[in-house]
Amino acid sequence: MKVLVVDDERTIRETLKEILEEEGYRVFTEEVGSRVLQRVKEVSPDLIILDLFLPGTSGMEVLENLNREGITQKIPVIIVSGHGTVETAVKAMKLKAFDFIEKPIKYEKLLSVLEEAIERKSENSARNCNYSDLPLRQAKEAFEKDYILSVLKKFNGDLKKCAAFMEIDISNLYRKLNKYGIKADGVA
């Protein structure tokens, strides 16, 4: 997973980079708001952490540009700010920011929000799979596999709950898991 960290404070960029790399993320940084859109195109991050107060082009202006370009639909943006107000947070959320975290950053909170954002992104991409590019039989199978994986995840691999939710008997669920090469823990 690639993360773009945008903050004008070098120590914050470096600290976030170090922490996120320890967690297994590939981290790219930017300190100037006017260069963020270009960096997003170069790096294709899976997630953006964006400070609101940047020199020149503010973080809010960057968020507005990302939203206008449709990027916030595809890439979760987590806003961080040491000077945020309720109004600022509301405005950011209206511009489709995924979340708003106040500085000083509590790293457990940040990591939790990152995981949630990535999980939501993967659910959305599964939902937005373009099944219309496939012949009907393949589209049905691709959808059914995605559906089963998401239900398994929803119920933490509890097959009885999954079968009940899907309104099928457990033996039918086992047959489908075998058909698609899915393990009971939801790994394909």
17 assigned to some structural domain: yes
Which range, of 13-22, 40-49, 119-128, 179-188, averages the lowest pLDDT? 119-128
Q: What is the pLDDT of residue 187?
A: 56
186 assigned to some structural domain: no
Do 134 and 79 sit in the same domain of this protein?
no
The highest-confidence range among 19-28, 86-95, 177-186, by mean pLDDT, is 19-28
Domain termination residue (choose one: 90, 105, 126): 126
Do 59 and 86 sit in the same domain of this protein?
yes
Do 117 and 151 sit in the same domain of this protein?
no
185 assigned to some structural domain: no
**Tokens, residue 46:** 């899976």
Do 45 and 135 sit in the same domain of this protein?
no
Residue 177's Cβ-side half-sphere holds a number of Cα atoms within 13 Å equal to 22
- From start to end of the chain, where are the E strands? 2-6, 26-30, 47-51, 77-81, 99-102
188 assigned to some structural domain: no
pLDDT digit string, tens, across residues 92-139: 888 889 999 998 899 899 999 998 888 877 766 655 567 777 788 888
Distance CA 144, CA 125 (A): 15
Do 140 and 55 sit in the same domain of this protein?
no
Domain termination residue (choose one: 97, 126, 155): 126
pLDDT digit string, tens, across residues 7-20: 999 999 999 999 99
The CATH number given to whatever domain includes residue 111 is: 3.40.50.2300
The CATH number given to whatever domain includes residue 163 is: 1.10.10.60
pLDDT digit string, tens, across residues 16-32: 999 999 999 999 999 99
Helices 10-22, 107-127: crossing angle, 10 deg rounding: 60
Write the Ramachandran bin of 77: left for phi over 0, alpha for psi from -120 to 50, otherwise beta.
beta
Mean pLDDT of 165-170: 91
Instruction: Please identify which residue in the block is written with the tokens 């898991």.
Output: 177
Distance CA 8, CA 11 (A): 9
Q: What is the pLDDT of residue 89?
A: 84
- Order of strands across the sheet with 77-81? 26-30, 2-6, 47-51, 77-81, 99-102
Distance CA 59, CA 171 (A): 53
Q: What does pTM read for this prediction?
A: 0.67
Distance CA 113, CA 105 (A): 12
Number of domains making up the chain:
2
Q: What is the pLDDT of residue 126?
A: 57
Q: What range does the domain containing 136 cover?
A: 129-180
DSSP letters of 127-167?
Answer: HT--GGGS-HHHHHHHHHHHHHHHHHHHTTT-HHHHHHHHT
Distance CA 20, CA 10 (A): 15
Over 60: is that where the pLDDT of 185 sits? yes
User: How many C-beta atoms lie closer than 10 Å to residue 64's C-beta?
Assistant: 16
167 assigned to some structural domain: yes
What confidence category does residue 151 fall into, taking pLDDT thresholds of 50, 70 and 90?
confident
Q: What is the pLDDT of residue 123?
A: 67
